[in-house]
Amino acid sequence: MRRSFPFSALIYVILTTTSLVILYPLLFMVSATFTSTAQYYRTSFFPIPDFFDLRNYVPVLLDCSQGCIYQAMLTTGLREAWYLVWMLIISIFGGYVFARLRFPGKNALFLFLLSGLMVPDILLLLPLYVMLARWPLIGGNDLLGQGGSGFVNTWPALFILGMVNVLALFLIKQNYEMIPGEYEEAALVDGAGTLRIILQVYVPMLRPALTALSLLVFIGIWNDYLGPLIFVGGNKDITPIALTVQRLIYGLTQRQAETIADFPLIFGATTLMSIPPIVVYFALQRYIVQGLVGVGIKG
Amino acid sequence: METSGRAVGAAARPTPTWSERFATWRWRHRHPLVAYAILTPMLVYFIIFTWIPMLVLAVISFTEYNVVEWPPTFVGLKNYVQIFTDPYYHKVIQVTVTLGVAVLVLNMAIGLTIALLLNEKIKGRGLYRTIWYLPVVISGAVMAQTLVIFLYPGENGVFNSIIGLVGLKPVIWTQSTFWTPFWISLFAVWRGVGVVVIFFLAGLQSIDPVLYEAARVDGADRRQSFRHVTIPQLAPITLFVFVTQCVGALQMWEAPLVLTFGGPENSTRTMVYSIYSDAFGNLTMGLATAQSVILLVVLLALSATNLRVFRVKY
């Protein structure tokens, strides 16, 4: 479509201005971490850096006031590994079953699993809390689930929920169905077993979709806040990173009543917290459009 | 495969042994066997952690339960009656809907506009797209907590110093029942609009260029081809995005939970935050779960609209 010059210039102007508005809080945040408190208050609509060292990052990494930050990072790293592995197992094998095998009850079972996608996770947190707290014979509970606190505020509460990722299963099933059946038949003739066919024939072809899903899972777990707040919020030694950092910031902003709030340090914590998802996003972003659009259901 | 031809083989060979019969049976039923071996644990898990919680949710909503004393006391429809008659809950519903609609409208309008602009032949499309999606990948709760610094009431608070540039007086944002919901809605838009951009852009780029070519051959100008090609082709994804954004907008919780605690004067007490504070602040789990059930019914009804679109698509 042919366009006149002013029209396309206008597009660039609009896009650049609006993008800067979107970027503004993030640039502000990073810039503020290299600004002394005095300088920060002088230039408060946009802090101009006046030093370049990590003095607003190191104290955050060593902070233990709301549970140690490095410990929280470790906890979150373990959760990442755990949920990524389960997502891959469930989607690769579950997707294969629904896309490639014929068995009675297939459609009914698939719709049954799919029903899980309609229920927002957030609304199941309360009943899950009650279930975890009243789980029989755990954490001082008796056979009827009374007397103790069950899984609440313990390690397992961070790991036992959400292991079956129905969304991933659904997307990978769609991807399996786009692969022609001839590959599997050829491998069968060569004498390959089911496990071998899945891992050596299908998985390489599913790699883009699996990468996109891994990215979504990584970001989701890294930023996971409400679940951990409810399930382990009372035990600051095991809170994951998003919760720990939010509490650290809250603590620092509350302190402003007595002394001058150390805003640059707060932004140091926020920036540190944001680096891993941003790095992973930059590295893998070419997959995300494909992943999101393929997902096309939960947004 | 060879053992399955029993009728032919029976005359020539001796009766198969039990282990041979088992092997035959196993081969014949290999699909269901593999399928159920993989699916059974998955389904059991799914039932325990998705369907039983739904049941628990529904049951607790008919009780009074303070999170500590077990078992809950059955009270019938009392919680629901209270939610539908108490002005406090009317306020919660009103806030949820108002903020939800504001966020929804802004997300759709901004998202579609930016996607349309990005769909033009421009340089640096990838960079712009990356920027718009960036706020989606970082923690909403942490960023919401940071918002307090931007809303800092003094003259050198961030937003105050910006409006100070054009000569306006500092505003005490967090005590205003207009500005607090205003800023947390904008925050939600900032956080979520990138998803809308990505979806619309993908929708626009999947429109077959042949259609535009045909429109051009027929003598259509830009406006006509937008009207008669882009809009109808974009309709299904628009409905889809609208519904998912609707579902998302009614679940706003980040800023109310970490920043405003529903205030000032309940002007930011959204339903999800109200559920959380009823459950863990006031220890009235029954009221919290009853609100969850009501919200769940609304959201399911919305998603059901999508299911139709989604059936057509797959």
Residue-range domain boundaries for chain A: 34-39+54-295
**Chain B hits for A29, Cβ within 8 Å:** 146
- Helix (H) / strand (E) element for A19: namely helix A5-32
Nearest to A217 by CA among A76, A77, A73, A83: A83
Statement: residue B245 has pLDDT above 80: yes
Identify the closest residue of chain A to B193 by CA–CA distance: A22
If you average pLDDT over residues B207-216, what whole number do you get?
A: 88
A18 contacts chain B (CB < 8 A): yes
Chain B contact for A245 (CB, 8 A cutoff): yes
Query: Which chain A residues in 163-192 lie under 8 Å from chain B, judged by CB atoms?
Result: 163-164, 166, 174
Is pLDDT above 90 for A5?
A: no
Chain A: closest CA distance from residue B10 (Å): 27
The answer to whether residue B167 scores a pLDDT higher than 90 is no
Residue B9, pLDDT > 50, answer no
What are the backbone dihedrals phi and psi of residue B17, each rounded to the nearest 5 degrees, phi first? -75, 170
Is the Cβ–Cβ distance between A49 and A37 less than 8 Å? no
Rg (CA), chain A: 24
How far apart are the CA of B134 and the nearest CA of chain A, in angstroms? 7
Query: Within an 8 Å CB–CB cutoff, is residue A270 touching chain B?
Result: yes
Q: What is the ipTM of this complex?
A: 0.88
Query: Given this model, what pLDDT does residue A46 score?
Result: 86
* DSSP-derived 3-state class of residue B73: strand
Most B-contacting residue of A130, A214, A222 (CB-CB within 10 A), to test interface:
A130
Sequence-separated (6 or more) residues with CB below 8 Å from residue B112: B196, B200, B238
**Alpha carbons within 13 A on the beta-carbon side of A142:** 4
Contacts of A289 in chain B (CB under 8 A): 198, 201-202
Q: Enter the tokens of residue A196.
A: 């071998």
Longest C-alpha distance within chain A, in Å?
77
Select from B138, B158, B240 the Cβ nearest to the Cβ of A274: B138
Sign of CA dihedral B226, B230, B232, B237: negative
- Please count the residues of chain A: 299
Q: What is the mean pLDDT of chain B?
A: 88
Burial A205-239, CB ≥16 within 10 A → b, else e: ebeebbbbbbbbbbbbbbbbbbbbbbbbbeebebb
Please state the φ and ψ torsions of residue B82, each to the nearest 5 degrees.
Answer: -60, -45
Map out the domains of chain B as residue ranges: 2-60, 80-313
Asked if A120 and B148 come within 8 Å (Cβ–Cβ), the reply is no
Higher pLDDT, A178 or A92: A92
Question: Which chain B residues have a beta carbon less than 8 Å from that of A296?
Answer: 240, 310, 313
Instruction: HSE, CB side, 13 Å, CA atoms: give it for residue A276.
Output: 18
Query: Å from A13 to nearest chain B CA?
Result: 11
Q: Indicate the pLDDT class of residue B166, thresholds 50, 70 and 90.
A: confident
- Whole-prediction pTM: 0.89
- The DSSP output letter for B74 is E
Q: What is the pLDDT of residues A60-69, one digit of tens each?
A: 888 888 889 9
Q: Does A36 touch chain B (CB under 8 A)?
A: no
Are A11 and B149 within 8 A, CB to CB? no
Instruction: Taking residues A69-96, report their average pLDDT.
Output: 95
Q: Which CATH class is domain B80-313?
A: mainly alpha
Residues 6 or more apart from A17 whose CB is under 8 A from it? Answer: none
Which of B6-20, B50-64, B197-211, B237-251 bottoms out in mean pLDDT, i.e. has the lowest? B6-20
Cα B70 to the center of its chain, rounded Å: 33
Using an 8 Å Cβ cutoff, are A196 and A187 in contact? yes
Does the CB of A281 have a partner CB in chain B at under 8 Å? yes
- CATH classification code of A34-39+54-295: 1.10.3720.10
Condensed to tens digits (0 to 9), the pLDDT of residues A180-231 reads 888 888 888 888 888 899 999 999 988 888 998 999 999 999 999 999 999 9
Lookup: tokens for B15: 């009766």
At residue B295, φ and ψ (nearest 5 deg) are -65, -40
Model confidence at A117: pLDDT above 90: no
Per-residue burial over B20-51, b if 16 or more Cβ lie within 10 Å, else e, is: eeeeeeeeeeeebebbbebbeebbeebeebbe
- Does the pLDDT of residue B183 top 60, yes or no? yes
And the tokens for B300?
Answer: 């399911």
